[in-house]
Chains A and B, each alone.
Chain A
Amino acid sequence: MNILVCISKAPDTTSKITFKESNTSFNEDGVQFIVNPYDEWYALVRALELKETQGGKVTIISVGGADYEPIMRKALAIGADEAVRVDAQPLDAFQVASEIAAYAADKGFDLVMAGKETIDYNGAQVGGMVAALMHLPYVSNATKMDVAGSEATVERDKQGGTEVLSVSLPAVISAAKGMAEQRIPNMRGIMAARSKPLQVIPSSAPAQLTETVRYELPPEKGSVKLIDPENVNELVNLLHNEAKVI
C-alpha cells in the first residue's frame, strides 16, 4: 500500500481568534499551531495502521511555506515515512487541491487521504477537489476504513445514520472521527523524524479561484439574563414573549 496523506496546519482549538490589517488577515501572534486534528488523529494514523499490517509506505504532503515544517515533522514523528512540501502559500482550496493533484498524478498512490475539513476555514473542499482533478473515486466523512486487495470498505456518516460502501482503489478518502485513535509520538519517533526526508518542491502555480477580502468577529453577547431557579416559569415566559423562539 502506497498512501499519500494530506496534512494541513490549524490553530490550536483553544486559540483566541483575532485579525489584523483592518480585519484582512488572521493574527497569528501567540497562536499555537497544530496538525489539523482530522488529518492527524484519523487520516494519518489509519494510514499507518494499514501500512503496519499490509506493508508499503506513507507519504505526507502539505502545501505551505517553511512555517509548515514543524507540523510536518510531527507527522513524521508519529510514523510517516517521508514528507513533501509544495512551496506555496495556501490561499484557496482549489489551488491547494491542484498542487496536491499535480504532485500525486504520476506517483501511483493506492490511496490519497485527507481530513474531512480543516478546523480553521472549515472548507471541507480539498479532498473532493483532489478526487475530481485526479479522476479518482471519492468517499467523504469516513469513520471506518479497511482495505482488501484493490478494494476499500468504508463506513461513512450520512444524514440520520451511516452507510457501508465499497470503493475500488485507487481512491480519495476523507477521514472523520472514529477512523483511528490518536497516537502520541514517542522519543524514538521524534528522533527518527529529524532524519526522515522532507522534500521541498516548487509550486505548479495553479489558479486561485476565490479570495478572502475581510474577516469579522461575531458581535459581543450582551450579558446573560439570570433567572431564579425557583421561578422557572419566568424563563418559559421570556423564551415565548421576549425571544419568541418557543
Chain B
Amino acid sequence: MNVLVFADSDNGKVAKAAYEAASYGANIATKSGGKATLVTYGQVDNLNELAQYGISDILHAESVDHVDPMQLAALVDAAAQSTGADLLIFSHDYTGKTIAPVVSARMKAGMVTGAIDYPALDGDFVVKTNVFSGKAFAHVKINTDKKVITLLPNSVSKSKSEANANVTAFAPDLGNASVSIKETKIKGGDGINLTEAELVVSAGRGLKAPENWGMIEDLAHELGAATACSRPVADVGWRPHHEHVGQTGIAIRPDLYIAVGISGAIQHLAGVNGSKVIVVINTDPEAPFFKAADYGIVGDAFDVVPKLVAAVKELKASQS
C-alpha cells in the first residue's frame, strides 16, 4: 500500500517523533509493496536528515506557515491525492492529534489513534493501541480502504536506509485561514521535550518544597533526561503544568522513568505505565508505586538522590 507520512515542523525543525513516523511508514510500504512519501511544511533545517529514514519522496510545502488545522488538513489531503496514498501516518503529538481526525473525517478513512505497534497486514488490518489511559491495549480493525494511524512516540525504533528521499517543492491551494495566531509563548530554555524523552526523572509531593528540585534537575542533567512531576505539585505551582504526567496530564513511554517521592496513585500510573523500566525512590515501603516498579530504593530522597547523581557522574566519567 502507498503510505503518506505527515511530519510537523516547529521552530525550523521536525521533531524526533517524525523520524519514527517516517521509519514506521516506510516499513509498512516496503512490506506491502508500496511507496512511502512524506509531507512537511515551513522552514525545516533537518530535511536532509529526515530524508534518510526510508521515505522515497518528500513533499515540502515551504511557504506554508500557519496554524489553522483545517489548512494543514487540506495540505495532507492534497498530498494524499497526488500520491494515491492508502494509509496516512501522523505522530500522536499536538499537531498530529489535531489534524488526523479532520483528515480522517474528510476522507471517510477509518482511524486508530495512539498506535504502539505495526499493523497486521495479512488479512484484516488490525492495529494495537493504548486505551484506558495505558491500563490496557485494544486491537482495532480498520474497515475502510483508506486508513489513518497516529503513532505514539517511543513505540517503534527509527531506522535509517541506504537511499535518500527526493525532496520536491509542494504548493497546493489550502483555502483561507479561519484561525490566526496572535502570540506564541515558548517555554524557556534547552529543556528536553517530555513526550519524546527516552529518560525521565520525575518527583512528587515527597520533595516537600519547590526549592528542593535542584537535585532532581541535577540528576536529569547528568542523565540527559527530561523532568516531570505528579499533579499536586503542578497544581500548587511548584512545577510548571506541562511537566504534569498522568491521566489528566500527559502520557509518556520513556525507556526509563525514575519516580522520586511519588506515591503511585492509579491516575499517576496511567500516564507512565508504558515506560520500559521504572525506578521508584520512596521512604514508604508500602507505597503503591513499588508494585509497578522494576527497581526500587526504600529511602529518603534527600539522602538517595544526591548519591545517585554522584554515581551517574562516575559512570559517565568511566565511559568517556
Across the interface, which residues of B come within 8 angstroms of A166, CB to CB? Answer: 179-182
B189: nearest chain-A partner, CB-CB = A160
**Contact (Cβ within 8 A) A94 B110:** yes
Q: Which of B136, B185, B311 contacts A216 (CB 8 A)?
A: B136
**Contact (Cβ within 8 A) A214 B138:** yes
Across the interface, which residues of A come within 8 angstroms of B62, CB to CB? Answer: none
B142 on the interface (CB 8 Å rule)?
yes
**Contact (Cβ within 8 A) B180 A165:** yes
Nearest CB in chain B: distance from A232 CB, A: 4
Q: Is the interface of B mostly helix, strand, loop or mixed?
A: mixed
**Contact (Cβ within 8 A) B296 A225:** yes
Instruction: Render B207-237 as a binary contact track against A, CB cut-off 8 A, 1 for contact.
Output: 0000000000000000100000000000000
A152: nearest chain-B partner, CB-CB = B179
A107 on the interface (CB 8 Å rule)?
no
**Contact (Cβ within 8 A) A17 B136:** yes
**Contact (Cβ within 8 A) A233 B311:** yes
Residue among A14, A214, A232 with the most chain B CB within 10 A?
Answer: A232
B83 on the interface (CB 8 Å rule)?
no
A120 and B131 CA atoms in complex are apart in Å by 6
A74 and B92 CA atoms in complex are apart in Å by 32
**Contact (Cβ within 8 A) A162 B133:** no
Nearest CB in chain A: distance from B308 CB, A: 5
A131 and B294 CA atoms in complex are apart in Å by 43
Across the interface, which residues of A come within 8 angstroms of B160, CB to CB? Answer: none
A176: nearest chain-B partner, CB-CB = B248
**Contact (Cβ within 8 A) B295 A122:** no
**Contact (Cβ within 8 A) A217 B136:** yes
**Contact (Cβ within 8 A) A129 B101:** yes
16 pairs of residues in contact across A and B, judged by CB atoms under 8 Å: A120-B132, A124-B101, A126-B101, A131-B70, A137-B178, A140-B97, A140-B98, A153-B182, A159-B95, A165-B182, A177-B248, A224-B290, A224-B295, A224-B296, A229-B300, A239-B279
Other A-B pairs, 6, CB within 8 Å; known A125-B100, A210-B112? A14-B266, A162-B184, A164-B181, A207-B108, A225-B294, A236-B314
